Structure 1
Amino acid sequence: MTPEFVVGFARQAIELALTISLPMLGIGLAVGVFVSVIQAATQIQETTLSFIPKIVSIFLALLVSFPWIMDKMLAFTREVFINIPNYVR
């Protein structure tokens, strides 16, 4: 196992983690900005008012994107398991 291989493998794993988390983070950001604008316009500064919509929207985004996430994770895992003999050398 060369240092280049380890760095490349770690890069792939980090890219996969970022790609998988992107839908939930994007939806959470959009809902957070929207709720913040509404709070600023109405001057209601309730903490739960910004927390609950973000949690619900992130959960819904997870439900919608779950098949895609599982496909990406299974493809990466399958690639790792298939290449185990190459990694050992």
Structure 2
Amino acid sequence: MTENMVMGIAKEALYTGMLVAGPILILSLVVGLLISIFQATTQIQEQTLTFVPKLVVILVALVIGGSWMLHELMKFTTKIMNLISVITK
């Protein structure tokens, strides 16, 4: 196993992680920002107000994109397992 191979695997692992986690994190960030703007304009300073809408948005995102996320993770895992079987021979 060469250094380039290890760096390629690490690069692909980071890319897959960002690809899978990115949509959920971006949606959560947008909802948090919108609620923060709402709180600033209405002067409601309740700290727990952001949790329920974020949880709902994350749940909806998982329901809609969960199969795609699982498919991407399975593709990466299959590629790693195939690479392990090639290396050990």
Identify the residue that residue 50 of structure 2 maps to in structure 1. Answer: 50
- Residue ranges of structure 1 left out of the alignment (5+ in a row): none
RMSD: 1.3
- How much has 1:84 moved relative to structure 2? 2.3
Amino acid across the alignment from 2:74: L
In 1, Cα distance between the equivalents of 2:87 and 2:9?
10
- Percent same amino acid among aligned pairs? 36
Q: Tell me which stretches of 4 or more aligned residues in structure 1 moved more than 3 Å.
A: none
In 2, Cα distance between the equivalents of 1:12 and 1:88?
20
Amino acid across the alignment from 2:12: Q
1:39 aligns with 2:77: no
Identify the residue that residue 59 of structure 1 maps to in structure 2. Answer: 59
- How much has 1:18 moved relative to structure 2? 0.8
In 2, Cα distance between the equivalents of 1:28 and 1:15?
20
- How much has 1:88 moved relative to structure 2? 2.7
Query: What's the TM-score once normalised by structure 1's chain length?
Result: 0.90
- How much has 1:83 moved relative to structure 2? 2.5
Identify the residue that residue 74 of structure 1 maps to in structure 2. Answer: 74
The number of residue pairs the alignment matches comes to: 89
Query: What's the TM-score once normalised by structure 2's chain length?
Result: 0.90
SS in 2 for 1:83: helix
- How much has 1:68 moved relative to structure 2? 0.4
Amino acid across the alignment from 2:59: F
